[in-house]
A = this chain, B = another copy of it.
Amino acid sequence: MDNFDRLERMRRAMESERLDVLVLRLPENVLFLSGFWPMIGATLLVFPREGEPLCIIPHCYENEAAHSLWNAQTTYYRYGVLGAEPVAAIRSILSDAAREKNWARVGYEGSFEVVGPSWNTAEAIVPAAPTRRLLAEVFDGAELVDVTALLEFQRQRKTPWEAAKLRTASEISCIGMEAFEQLVDVGVSGVELAAEAERAIMVRGTGYNGALRVRAFAQVAVGHAECGVGYRPNEISTVRELKAGEPALLELGVVVDGYWADRTRVRVAGEPTDEQERVFETVRKAQEAAIAAIRPGVRAAEVDEAARAVIRDAGWGDLFPHITGHGLGFRYHESAPLLAPNSSDILQEGMFTSVEPGIYELGVGGFRLEDDVLVTAGGAEIVGPYPKRLAGIMAEIPRRND
């Protein structure tokens, strides 16, 4: 269960930054360097440049941690029960770990302002002033170094092990797209569509290819007006019901044991009009063109332009107001690559990006397609491929272990 590549890359980066140790508590970063996706965010990872990592974990999650941790040492502290003193316990464990180590430069998560949830999406635990004060006390005399940029950079290129996890998450997201498409019909509401996609993913995704913790965040815009602003970062799903000929736009975030997928599909209730088919076909071709442009060494801005040119040539350039894609993996959105007109990112093997062109007009609707793509040595791999059709019966999706 080790992930040798990942740990070696990080140790080399720490060496060139002269970092002796990282102390991490954001669930996405604990997962990144330990393999364990914390249940509630109360886990700390001490990751030294030399020697074994130490994971400090609430005692009640011993089983979950043992199941997934790579080769870290573990210390469990009492949490959530009478008599527990989590802060004192963590301080004492950290002090023991630091003793006689001569750690002079200690990395911490100082600038993460966008954070992913732990398994408990209802409440996040994040590092703020108290964590920083604790580190200053425990590592008295050491220099505290904000390693946010370093972590974000290291997270950009996924290892083969991580790519396999992301493939599983994307395959599970197909369950939700299928449930959505089967339910789209006249009289069905946005909340019904969103809730059913989430339900299907949790019920049928848990256990798929070993997945233990599966959760979806679906948003469905319904009708011309709601879909017409469907480029917004987040929609409200409402009780409005689909009428004949109207589009329904599904935006879908899925997390599987800490690894994310981000998908979008659009369907029309009943028969699409010729114009709807033309718009949809343009989006489909724009997405294809972008994916065809993806390979190591290409500028992310060129990939954006490949999609944008298709939509512009069709006469709808003004109706594609957002970027073509963004990095993801350890979070719903990651900082790079950014497939955007002014992006300075260069694609590299192992990068993972959404590709999601769209065309939106108030009164007409919103049409977007989104898939997640891995940059491979030879070009691009769409992970968890899934059909794209505006209406009609969908092909069976591949399943590994139904």
Contacts and interface: CB of A to CB of B under 8 A. Distances in A.
A191 B238 CA distance: 25
Nearest to A206: B191
Nearest to A197: B199
Contacts of A182: none
Interface string A62-105: 00100000000000000111100000000000000000000000
Interface stretch (A107-115, A158-166, A288-296, A363-371): A107-115
Task: Count this chain's copies in the assembly.
Answer: 2
A346 interface: no
A321 to B, nearest CB: 5
A135 to B, nearest CB: 13
A43 to B, nearest CB: 12
A162 to B, nearest CB: 19
Interface secondary structure of A, over-half rule: loop
Interface magnitude class on chain A? 35 or more
Interface of A: 39-40, 58, 60-61, 64, 79-82, 109-117, 119-131, 146, 148, 189, 191-192, 194-196, 198-199, 202-203, 206-207, 212-214, 217, 229, 231-234, 236-239, 253, 255, 321-323, 331-333, 340-341
Given A116-B123, A122-B332, A199-B199, 18 more contacts: A61-B232, A80-B233, A81-B321, A82-B323, A111-B128, A112-B128, A113-B127, A114-B126, A115-B125, A117-B121, A117-B122, A120-B233, A122-B255, A123-B333, A195-B199, A195-B203, A196-B199, A198-B202
